Chain A
Amino acid sequence: MRTGRRRNAWAALVGAIAVALALPLVPASAEETPSSSGTAEKTVFTVGITQDVDTTNPFTGIAAASFEAYQMMYPTLTEYSAEDFSTVPGLAESWEESEDQTYWTYKIRPGLKWSDGQPLTARDAAYTFNRVINGDIEQTNYGGYTSTITKAVAEDDTTLKLFVKRPSPIMYHLAVYILPEHIWKNIDGKQAKSYKNEPKDGEPVVGGGPFVLVERRKGEFLRFEANPNFYGGKPAADEVVFRVYKNTDAIAEALRKGEIDYANDLSANVFNSLEGAEGITTVPSVYSGFNQIAFNMGAALTDGTPIGNGSKLVLDPQVRLAVAQAIDRQVLADKVYGGFATPGSTVIPPLYRDLHLEPADPVGFDLAAANATLDAAGYTMGDDGVRVSPDGERMSLRLLGRQESSESQKVVEYVKDWLGQIGIEVDVRIVSEDTLYEKVGNGDFDMFEWGWVVEPDPDYQLSTFTCDQRSTDDDGTIIAGLSDSFYCDAEYDKLYEAQKLQTDPAERAAVVRQMQQMLYDSNAYVVTVYYDNPTAYRSDRWTNFTPQPAPDGVLLFQYGTWSYESITPVVEDAGDATSTAAGLTPGLILGAVVGGVGLFLIGYWLGRRRPSDYDVE
């Protein structure tokens, strides 16, 4: 009896293990034939993202991935070229500023249709612009583009007129997604706030971009289908999927395994581990972000009232120059960023070739020169290796680094070490970005490390150095503006206003360069590096990516949808070009059957055993 039961127990255990092993094997077999039956020719390009699209409603989203989705779904009047960010036709095939500079005329491509077949005309564009101009929630994402526009008028199906208060170069690049009036006119401003703009009853979201949204599962993925009505022609990829992973390790493994075809924002370690992996190509990708060491150049409110507790020492241009001379940007790029960065100089990154200023007389790393600068300015070396200012103040400065970034924490340690060598004592503190933002806004800092991602239009970046962007006082609460250096120079502000009104690209670029020179000379920021965007993709499945800018810029998450439109599946083995999409496969059914039978057997065994207990009682 006893031994008999024990044998039963073993049988059950073996059975359970067999079931447990059989179940997982099933989807594995499903994966080897990834395309579900009947859609064998469908090519799916899958992008791994670490931050989910927060909403597909273009009026309320904030995540970077959300804007990537909007670009896929909706057209804009013009686009930034993949080649060099110059203005190229989008929905509009041509554009012109009126002689008197009071309005702009955009010629919309004729004969276009939304994805549902309704005509896409200048009237949709006029509707969208007017909605933003007169809107409330609509202003949040697009108000920055429409602040100079007073009204939009569609003269006919192909002519859009935008009337402006003043001349503005922003009119070349209105990144306002043109929405279908016949859909959005039914959603008022109030509803727009919680409108999901997701596929309903299997119907895709009506759009006019290269892809339409056909499926969305929050926190998991978005699925887009190529739009045959797109003005640039139907893209070669049948579907694009954005898949959410919550950590970059998972993304790298998913790429290696083939669950996804593309991943970017990889850490140097992950990037290096993927290098040379079969079927995967890695590219560093030049990016539009820079990091800097910023100084507190006299924190104040917009009315000039001083705030905060910044050290007087960094107000001296010679001190800032000495710090700039003591920072080895090349070492930071190599050691901290693992080579995925280039030494920085001005606040407009070099990938914007038409706007970037490469300083004619760059400040290089030279500790001897830095020491000489401080000596000449009257800062004498103390006995403890820390200099003393002409006023007798010990040269001790606070430097804030960011908790969220391991690079930031390393950079501040390097800087501390270098400044120690020129007689400046540095007190490093690592704080969260929330805290840093608040401390900076209140002027409670001497130096900090952070960075910006710069748009192709330089206006926003340049505005962060204007006097108007210093902090403001709201009933006793200090509210930070965009300025985090509190740089304030009337001459600079004048140039800022001039470039804001200059609609001639070449003349504007000249002003923008002049402004960069001023900033560079002042050392308000020591731009440490321009960092790359390390990227990896499945080159065994997809080819013909379009970098922006040529030849080594980013492949996706561009200003535009260039790569999504240009990529083509690698044809050698058509089956390989499709990403995994497990469906109801014979394997899956078999697994379910095996599992069911296994459970039944266990249940049967458990049931059978009971009477034997009681018969002894």
Chain B
Amino acid sequence: MSLIQDVAGSGGPDPIPGPPPLPRKEKGSRGLSPGATFALRKTGAALGTLFFVLVVNFFLFRLLPGDPIGMYTRGRNVPPEQLAELRAELNRPVLEQFLTYLRNPFASTIDSAQFNRPVWELVTERIWPTLLLVGTAIVLASIIGVWIGIKAGWKRGKSFDKVSTGVTLTLYSMPEFWLGMILLIIFGVGAFGLPGMFPIGGISSPGVDTSSLAGWLDVAWHMVLPVTTLTLVYLAEYALVMRSSLVDEMDEDYLTTARAKGLMDRLVRRRHAVPNALLPTVTLIFLNLGFTVSGAITVETVFSWPGLGLLSYEALRGPDVALLQAIFLLFSIGVVLANLVADLLYAVIDPRVRS
């Protein structure tokens, strides 16, 4: 869990609103159902945020000092006329650049100063590996984490709870790159008598056709270690959050009522306690989904995964303003969209929200 995620996490979608709002007629609803009004309002807010990000994003990186062209061409025999031409591109009036950018932030005419190629091309090359890696890890982590959290929370204080809480706390406090390197050394290189079963890095092997079954299996084989690393780190968080919110529900009267009806313990848990306890975890899962795009730079580095994480690091050198703005815009879109989905989903899960 990176710092950025933590910080952003606190500003995520609204948690369960305190006092349940009184039912009232929305002025502008014009016959729309409360649900639709809610969805419209949230979507509008998301669009607003996006526009804000779009603008800030452009000006923010132009505040960075530096002479990117000089940095990139240091040690290379580039004729002065060519240097002047490269600089001219960056020296275009800011307003003009801004308009080009507003028209289409990912236009093929916006070039990376560092790579002298369209920014969009660079980004699209890297985005799929990241989505594959982080997406898989988040799906796995949320399923396993929620399951562990429910088990542990429901039987609080029992041995499963003690063990799982201990393990998840340990995993949660572990730096992901460190865990990754340990896994790499044990299962990639081979230690303690184990053979090096997994590749040291990369996403596929040379000479294997990725469209064939062998290619898919090859990619899956390469994914095992990085996905395991990320899953272990993420699932700890989900398990802990799920456990604590379930524990909060445990003493609620409605559970006593359910039990009084004669429901089996398991059904009380599944039908009554879990749905209520799931809300904070859903928030967390979707927030993290938003961050899939930005990837996990440290894990990508440890396992030489060709994702966006490293590209954003490379873009900082110089700085490569055009590349930076495209990448950060993409990251922002990911987070804003995931937030929106979380908000909308919330309304579905918890009727109190949309009323």
Contact = CB atoms under 8 A, between A and B. Distances in A.
B117 A244 contact: no
A355 B70 CA distance: 28
Interface in A229-265: 241, 243-247, 249-250, 253-254, 256-257, 259
Interface string B171-211: 00000000001001101111000011111111111111010
B302 A247 contact: yes
Given A193-B116, A250-B302, A588-B214, A144 B202 contact: no
Contacts of B77: 144-145, 455, 460
Nearest to B71: A437
Contacts of A256: 189
Contacts of B38: none
Contacts of B195: 28
Interface stretch (B2-10, B80-88, B232-240, B274-282): B80-88
Interface in B48-100: 65-67, 70-72, 74-79, 81-82, 85-87, 91
A217 B204 CA distance: 9
Interface string A4-28: 0000000000000000000111111
Contacts of A54: 115
Contacts of B187: 24
Interface in B262-308: 263-264, 266-267, 300-307
Contacts of A36: 207-208
Given A194-B121, A257-B196, A434-B318, A580 B224 contact: no
Contacts of B208: 36, 581-584
B121 A221 contact: no
A55 interface: yes
A147 interface: yes
A254 B197 contact: no
A143 B79 CA distance: 6
B352 interface: no
Interface string B231-250: 00000000000000000000
B334 interface: no
Contacts of B82: 139-140, 143
Contacts, number: 193
Interface in B105-154: 108, 111, 114-118, 121, 125-126, 129
A60 B67 contact: no
B115 A55 contact: yes
A223 B204 CA distance: 13
B197 A244 contact: no
A194 B78 contact: no
B67 A583 contact: no
Contacts of A247: 301-302, 304
A137 B116 contact: yes
A72 B276 CA distance: 63
Contact of A452 (B75, B117, B200): B75
A54 B125 CA distance: 11
Contact of A218 (B79, B125, B301): B125
A453 interface: yes
Contacts of A434: 65-66, 71, 317-319
Which of B87, B184, B196 gathers most chain A CB within 10 Å? Answer: B196
B214 A583 contact: yes
A482 B78 CA distance: 11
B184 A253 contact: yes
A437 B267 contact: no
Interface string A437-464: 1100100000000001101000010000
A453 B75 CA distance: 7
A592 B213 CA distance: 10
A215 interface: yes
B310 interface: yes
Which of B75, B111, B188, B206 gathers most chain A CB within 10 Å? Answer: B206
Contacts of A26: 221
Contact of A245 (B66, B67, B200, B266): B200
A136 B85 contact: yes
A194 B214 contact: no
B200 A221 contact: no
A218 B308 CA distance: 12
B214 A221 contact: no
Contacts of A498: none
Given A215-B207, A583-B214, A584-B214, A437 B66 contact: yes
A582 B218 contact: yes
| Chain A interface size range | 35 or more
B91 to A, nearest CB: 8
A27 B318 contact: no
A244 B304 contact: yes
B310 to A, nearest CB: 6
Contact of B306 (A215, A219, A259, A460): A219
Nearest to A436: B71
B100 to A, nearest CB: 16
Which of B118, B189, B205, B319 gathers most chain A CB within 10 Å? Answer: B205
Nearest to A218: B125
A244 B306 contact: yes
A616 B118 CA distance: 64
Contact of A479 (B87, B115, B185, B217): B87
A243 B206 contact: yes
B212 interface: yes
A518 interface: no
A62 interface: yes
Contacts of B221: 23-24, 26-27, 582
A254 B300 contact: no
A80 to B, nearest CB: 15
Given A434-B319, A438-B66, A194 B197 contact: no
A613 interface: yes
Which of B75, B86, B200, B300 gathers most chain A CB within 10 Å? Answer: B200
Contact of A243 (B70, B202, B218): B202
Nearest to B66: A434
Contacts of B305: 246
B292 to A, nearest CB: 17
Contacts of A23: 221, 224
Given A193-B116, A223-B206, A434-B319, A24 B301 contact: no
Contacts of A141: 76, 78
B65 A438 contact: yes
Nearest to B200: A254
Contacts of A215: 206-207
Contacts of A82: none
Nearest to A433: B71
Nearest to B300: A246
Interface in A405-436: 433-435
Interface of B: 65-67, 70-72, 74-79, 81-82, 85-87, 91, 108, 111, 114-118, 121, 125-126, 129, 181, 184-185, 187-190, 195-208, 210, 212-214, 217-218, 221, 224, 263-264, 266-267, 300-307, 310, 317-319
16 contacts: A23-B224, A28-B195, A55-B117, A136-B85, A140-B82, A141-B76, A218-B125, A220-B202, A249-B181, A259-B199, A434-B66, A434-B71, A437-B70, A452-B75, A460-B77, A617-B263
Interface of A: 23-28, 36, 44, 46, 52, 54-55, 60, 62, 136-137, 139-141, 143-145, 147, 193-194, 215, 217-221, 223, 241, 243-247, 249-250, 253-254, 256-257, 259, 433-435, 437-438, 441, 452-453, 455, 460, 474, 479-480, 482, 580-584, 588, 591-592, 613, 616-617
The 6 A-B residue pairs with the shortest CB-CB distance, nearest first, are: A219-B306, A144-B77, A584-B214, A143-B79, A24-B197, A254-B200
Given A27-B218, A144-B76, A435-B65, 6 more contacts: A221-B202, A245-B201, A253-B188, A434-B65, A438-B66, A474-B87
